Amino acid sequence: MKISFLIHNAYGIGGTITTTFNLAGALAERHDVEVVSVLRHREHPHLTPHPAVRLRALVDLRRERDHPLHGRPAKVFPSAEYRHHQYSELTDRRIAECLADTDADAVIGTRPGLNVHLALQAPRRVVRVGQEHLTLDNHPPALRTALRRAYRRLDVLTTVTEADADRYRRTMRLPGVRVAALPNSVPDPVLPASDGTAKVVIAAGRLVPVKRYDLIIEAFARVAAEFPDWQLRIYGKGEEQDRLRARIETLGLWNNVFLMGAATPMEAEWVKGSIGAAASDFEPFGMTIVEAMRCGLPVVSTDCPYGPGEIIRDGEDGRLVPVGDEGAFGAALLDLVRDDERRRRMGRAALDHARRFAPGPVVGQAERLLRDAIEAGAGGRRPAAGPGGPHHILRTQGHAVRDLARATASNVLRTVRRGRR
């Protein structure tokens, strides 16, 4: 198969970039794979794609930031999408041209706005796969309305958890679209797993309010009071850094809690710890949880929507505690700190259970989804919809809106073709 990923900016840093490169690299072992980055702002990407994965950009901001069309708002990329201010008539034109000319068997969009482009502009001969890395409930109402209209033209829609896939099936009414959960994958570790003896708790990710590193620090204060030789190391950077540093000083934890900055790759840091920690109020998946478990760490996490509960088996390979409950979080950490044998046993279970997120199983599932959709397209039918009951036919108003969206996309394509002539 020839597979093309369409991504916002492959030259930046973020979970979607990491997971896209992971999946693209694994697929490239057996297929022809490219990553198309809508935007580019630097010479080399922060993350290095697999050698067999081709990477190209549509708009190079280093040279085209002042392009006349880039100063005009995008018409296809939905205005309710978080990244809309970074899109323009120039990105409309380049994306439309890219999709019109693609020779890929399948194109995979990696965020809602790009999935709308894919749904409206990709030719019927191409299998159109929309990936959702957030959740339906995380999207504002205006965006959900736009997605409901456009996503009916996709062939496959994937979410990172089964809970979110079920939410799409029940509420979005996508006739003929296969909705499936496809978890993020984490590459096989290259270093020996943690043996659970280090007196270190590790947390990692963007230092932003929703991740609740303040709660982890406050919970760890209970550990430090009883076990002053234990450390908490927090990896990452973000807007919360100064506030977290102030909280560490206020609690007198400067000898126990350390803001380590960003680290790439994180595997070399995970294996130095014995317990992972994640306290998000909301988590579409939980990439750092899987990374920690793949390195042999049991993880204490809040049981927030949607990801942690589908990754951690409470009491077997980690602990799930109520969202925002600092006392329960501290107690769960202490349970593992106090009991060496339990901590090591749960670390071994984490290493074993997390293998389901290895590239092999995830890529196998992705390949089946793509092959089914390609075969369905060759047979003149759409892939079977996922479970969740029958879908309803579009009403007159929905048809009118869909026709308007198609007309908008057609206008963009006509503009592109006139430009070529």
**CATH 3.40.50.2000, applies to 200-357:** yes
Cβ atoms of 129 and 107 within 8 Å: the answer is yes
Residue 170's nearest CA partner among 393, 415, 391 is 391
Give per-residue pLDDT as tens, 248-265. 999 999 999 999 998 888
Is 200-357 in the same CATH topology as 2-185+361-420? yes
Give per-residue pLDDT as tens, 9-23. 999 988 899 899 999
Look at residue 305 in the predicted model and tell me its pLDDT.
87
Bond from prior residue into 175 cis (ω within 30 degrees of 0): no
Confidence band (pLDDT; 50, 70, 90) for 381?
low
Confidence band (pLDDT; 50, 70, 90) for 81?
very high
Look at residue 403 in the predicted model and tell me its pLDDT.
38
Kindly give, in sequence order, each residue whose CB lies less than 8 Å from that of residue 27, ignoring residues fewer than 6 positions away: 3, 33, 363, 366, 367
d(C-alpha 415, C-alpha 421), whole Å: 10
Q: Average pLDDT of the chain?
A: 90
Cβ atoms of 234 and 257 within 8 Å: the answer is yes
Instruction: Record the pTM.
Output: 0.81
Confidence band (pLDDT; 50, 70, 90) for 379?
low
Token readout for 26 is 């694994």
Bond from prior residue into 306 cis (ω within 30 degrees of 0): yes
Look at residue 383 in the predicted model and tell me its pLDDT.
55
Look at residue 419 in the predicted model and tell me its pLDDT.
43
Q: Domain residues of the chain, as ranges?
A: 2-185+361-420, 200-357
For 2-185+361-420, CATH gives 3.40.50.2000
Token readout for 256 is 């126990």
Cβ atoms of 86 and 378 within 8 Å: the answer is no
Look at residue 361 in the predicted model and tell me its pLDDT.
92
The number of CA neighbours under 13 Å toward the Cβ of 171 is: 13
Integer CA distances (angstroms), 413 to 42, 47, 117, 130, 402, in order = 28, 33, 11, 21, 17
Q: How far is CA 341 from the centre of its chain?
A: 34
Q: End-to-end CA distance of the chain, in Å? A: 32
Give per-residue pLDDT as tens, 281-310. 999 899 999 999 999 999 999 999 889 999
Give per-residue pLDDT as tens, 205-228. 999 999 999 999 999 999 999 999
